[in-house]
Amino acid sequence: MKSLQGIRILDLSRILAGPWASQLMADMGAEVIKVERPGRGDDTRSWGPPWLDAGPEPVSAYFLSCNRGKQSVCIDFSGPRGQALVRELAAHSDILLENYRPGSLARYGLDYDSLHAVNPNLVYCSITGFGQDGPYRHRNGYDLLLQAMGGLMGITGMPPEAGGAPVKVGVAVTDILTGLYAATACLGALRERDQGATGRHIDLSLMDVQVASLANQAMNYLVGGQVPVPMGHAHPNIVPYQAFATADAYLVIAVGNDEQFRRLCQVLDRPALAATPEYSSNAARVRHREPLVSQLADAFQARKRDEWLNALEAAGVPAGPVNDMAQVFADPQVQARGLVTELHHPQFGAVPTVASPIRDGSASEEHAVTPPPALGEHTDAVLGRLLGLNADALTSLRDEGVIGGTHKGR
């Protein structure tokens, strides 16, 4: 996929939200220059085990998840020479991503106003925990905090009457959603810029994204006035839409309309349920959730999971297994769609990665073809190509500790 070919992104972000945004744009053909601290790099390089390699420069699986298709350039911008290098790179870039606390980069002359003066067309995207203003603007933001403060943990887990404690989602979903919003906002700003506008300062906060992503649960509260509570695997607005235990394992049922419910009742050999006024419409089923779910649960105990799934599939009732990670990657649909692929790493050979889910229908759907970079792997190549620095200049900067990385760029 080459839809963003010719777009250059200067990525000063770390951890997940910003890197997720830049990886998505790398998958779409953008050139991504990842600026990292010499000798240390992105924090997630050390977030293991598991490791791809446990040698002197281990590579964590976490880092591999969100940094493919990028070039790593090590610059210490705490001093004036490093700051000048970043400013020069910004002058040659279309988008800058950063996730420092509000006001932090102004000390280095790398804030939006400073870089807008250098490159008026630069789209500058700031990702923070709580935004550029408001009483919490200076707080650090981590996904777990925002899942809690932004309401997600308040609706996730088993119901209070079942003894449920607060539960977070199993991946850093607030970070990931913020990354998707960031990429979308950046591309929208590029579109506006291409129509004659200048660059923009995009202010994205994890808190804002988490609250916005509450979707129907937020509107249930704002319209209905009732505070939503955790419901385990059930749905607040649809019944039956949850997991059921069979004779040997769990499955999920996702009945989205009354016709599907009728077919479900036929498969379960309980056709009278669909004709019962208390269950004949979704609104009625929501009101009479408990007695209906109890009857369905009893019915599912009669057969094994795969028997039910085969029968439900034949009847056109949406249903599926509750897969663990091994079962996910063994699933024939996942394999047919090529969601696991390998990238060639010059140090470690074949490196597995989860492919971009974007399919654009082109004859050759090429996603990012390079693996996550070694720390400072492209320092010399990028600074030489974009800033015209020769070997002597690079050696001088390295000797002074301004830049790092000894690998030659591919």
pLDDT band at 369 (very low <50, low <70, confident <90, very high): confident
Q: Smallest Cα–Cα separation from 270: which of 240, 300, 227? A: 300
Phi/psi for 332 (5° steps) reads -65, -30
Give residue for tokens 């249903």.
319
pLDDT for the residue numbered 230? 95
DSSP 340-381: EEEEEETTTEEEEEEPP------SS-----SPPPPTTTTHHH
pLDDT for the residue numbered 52? 85
Active site residues: 175
DSSP 5-69: TT-EEEE---TTHHHHHHHHHHHTT-EEEEEE-TTT-SGGGG--SSEEE-SSS-EEHHHHTT-TT
pLDDT digits (tens, 9 = 90+) for 52-106: 875 667 789 999 999 999 999 999 999 999 999 999 999 999 999 999 999 999 9
Between 162-171, 174-183, 302-311, 380-389, the lowest mean confidence (pLDDT) is in 162-171
Classified as helix, coil or strand, 244 is strand
Torsion sign over Cα 203, 209, 212, 215: positive
pLDDT for the residue numbered 55? 63
- Asked if residue 240 has a cis previous peptide bond (ω within 30° of 0), the answer is yes
pLDDT digits (tens, 9 = 90+) for 323-342: 999 999 999 999 999 999 99
Q: CB within 8 A of 386, min separation 6: which ones?
A: 88, 89, 92
Whether residue 129 contacts residue 141, with contact meaning beta carbons closer than 8 Å, is answered with yes
Evaluate if residue 366 carries a pLDDT over 60: no
Q: H helices of 93-213, where? A: 112-118, 143-149, 173-194, 206-212
Q: Residue 157 carries which side chain, given as an amino acid letter?
A: G
Instruction: Output the CA torsion 53→59→62→65 (10° steps).
Output: -100
Sketch out the chain's domains with CATH numbers: 8-212+337-404 (3.40.50.10540), 241-245+250-321 (3.30.1540.10)
Run of H or E residues at 329: helix 325-330
Beta 8-11 vs 250-254: how paired, if at all?
unpaired
Evaluate if residue 275 carries a pLDDT over 60: yes
Q: Smallest Cα–Cα separation from 13: which of 69, 67, 80? A: 67
Q: 131: phi > 0 → left, psi -120 to 50 → alpha, else beta; which?
A: left
CA distance to 11, 29, 183, 253, per residue, from 194 (Å):
21, 18, 16, 46
pLDDT band at 359 (very low <50, low <70, confident <90, very high): confident
Instruction: Output the CA torsion 394→398→400→402 (10° steps).
Output: 90
CA–CA separation, 65 vs 16, rounded Å?
Answer: 9
Between 127-136, 185-194, 321-330, 359-368, the lowest mean confidence (pLDDT) is in 359-368
CA–CA separation, 305 vs 309, rounded Å?
Answer: 6
Percent of the chain with pLDDT over 90: 90
CA–CA separation, 403 vs 69, rounded Å?
Answer: 21
Give residue for tokens 């669909």.
274
Eight-state DSSP code of residue 267:
H
